Amino acid sequence: MEDKLWKVSTSPHLSDRESIPRIMWLVAASLAPAGIGAVYFFGARAAWTIFLAVASAIATEAAIQKLRGKPITVHDGSAFVTGLLLAYNLPAEVPFWIPIIGSAFAIALGKQIFGGLGYNPMNPALLGRAFLLASWPTHMTIFRTPPRGGTISGIDVETGATPLNLLKQAQDVLHQAKVAPGEVPAQKISEAMMHISKLYESYGNLFWGKVGGCLGETSVFLLLIGAAFLLYKRYIDLRIPVGYIGSVALLTWAFGGSEGLFTGNPLFHVLAGGLVLGAFFMATDMVTSPITPRGKWIFGIGCGVITVIIRLIGGYPEGVSYSILLMNLTVPLLDRYTKPAIFGARKR
């Protein structure tokens, strides 16, 4: 028999077939239905925006890695996913430079400055969005293109804005009427009430995506297809979305109504805005979410609580991005204080 020196390595000598590129590209694939939906609903402009965001993310990643003399790893798909998710978080009619600058910021200051994949403490795509929102709020809050087959707010009114935007405005009116009776014209009050009740009945539009909003967030149906795939592949942990959506539903039901406790409409709040996108695809970003089972529960619930606070009393109609970013900050603490019990440590 041949006499040679064999290669050695440490155990285990097998591995399952998962790899980071495989995970990332399949996540990208699971986001494809929503992307196709975005192009269908909002037109070719959406495809262009998505392309620019992704291309800029990949180019930035490659450029920085080259500058640092590190191996270029854009083929692993993580920059692609970041660009994609950033694009999904943009309104349809942003100028072309918005996705480019947003992705560059997300990758450069959200990810590469910490050493690249795996080291970033906060969700790069959401940082990109929050950066854009703080830098050019006017571009980021204009929703004018109605989706094909629907209206911007999902009800038959002209007043621009996404369902959550409209809800916030209407609730502001009702609040104003409450604190200063007699000052708000009765016609405005009844209009606001009509809007709210119509919004609350627009489940169908919200579910299929025939409402205004950011590119990738409108169709709950298409997002759920991708989410189901990820759950099946076990790439995402159910604890985070369940904790997240569950707490949003509970809290909006409890505090979201104008007629006292437990008069809110949880289903509307779950379907509207970017909650489904955020809960299944962004809060679950493994790099920036806790690693321990208990930590994941706390993380999900924390996201839900902050989202509801922002939606109900905050300065924005939508709170998903900020809630995830804020909870990202707690991840090292959560990981530290929710370590699983080591085998044999419980029973002494």
Cβ atoms of 223 and 281 within 8 Å: the answer is yes
Tell me which of 49, 60, 120, 321 binds ligand RBF, using CB under 6 A: 120
Closer to other proteins by Cβ: residue 90 or 220: 90
Stretch that binds ligand RBF, among 94-102, 200-208, 285-293, 339-347 (CB under 6 A): 285-293
Tell me which of 207, 244, 253, 281 binds ligand RBF, using CB under 6 A: 281
Tell me which of 58, 223, 248, 282 binds ligand RBF, using CB under 6 A: 282
Residue 153 interacting with ligand RBF (CB under 6 A): no
Single out the residue of 233, 229, 232, 211 nearest to residue 220, CA to CA: 211
Give the C-alpha separation, 126 to 116, whole Å. Answer: 16
Closer to ligand FMN by Cβ: residue 166 or 279: 166
Residue 54 interacting with ligand RBF (CB under 6 A): no
Smallest distance, Å, CB 51 to ligand FMN?
26
Q: Which does 204 bind (CB under 5 to 8 A by kind): ligand FMN, ligand RBF, other proteins, none?
A: none
Site for ligand FMN in 235-264 (CB under 6 A): none
- Classified as helix, coil or strand, 13 is coil
Site for other proteins in 229-288 (CB under 8 A): 237, 286-287
Smallest distance, Å, CB 12 to ligand RBF?
23
Which residues are CB-contacts of 265 (< 8 A; sequence separation ≥ 6)? 200, 252, 253, 256, 257
Give the C-alpha separation, 131 to 128, whole Å. Answer: 5
Give the C-alpha separation, 140 to 93, whole Å. Answer: 9
Cβ atoms of 247 and 319 within 8 Å: the answer is no
Residue 322 interacting with other proteins (CB under 8 A): yes
Beta-carbon neighbour count of residue 45 at 10 Å? 16
Residue 137 interacting with ligand FMN (CB under 6 A): yes
Cβ atoms of 117 and 99 within 8 Å: the answer is no
From residue 49, alpha-carbon distances to 63, 85, 161, 218, 301 in Å are: 21, 11, 20, 16, 32
Tell me which of 137, 190, 228, 262 binds other proteins, using CB under 8 A: 137
Cβ atoms of 319 and 306 within 8 Å: the answer is yes
Closer to other proteins by Cβ: residue 45 or 188: 188
Stretch that binds ligand FMN, among 92-100, 109-117, 133-141, 143-151 (CB under 6 A): 133-141
Residue 265 interacting with ligand RBF (CB under 6 A): no
From residue 186, alpha-carbon distances to 170, 177, 261 in Å are: 13, 9, 25
Cβ atoms of 146 and 105 within 8 Å: the answer is no
Residue 85 interacting with ligand RBF (CB under 6 A): yes
Closer to ligand RBF by Cβ: residue 287 or 309: 287
From residue 42, alpha-carbon distances to 35, 45, 46 in Å are: 10, 7, 6
Residue 204 interacting with other proteins (CB under 8 A): no
Q: Which does 44 bind (CB under 5 to 8 A by kind): other proteins, ligand RBF, ligand FMN, none?
A: none
Stretch that binds ligand RBF, among 79-87, 152-160, 163-171, 187-195 (CB under 6 A): 79-87
Question: What residue ranges bind ligand RBF (CB under 6 A)?
Answer: 23-24, 27, 78, 81-82, 85, 111, 117-118, 120, 123-125, 235-236, 281-282, 284-288
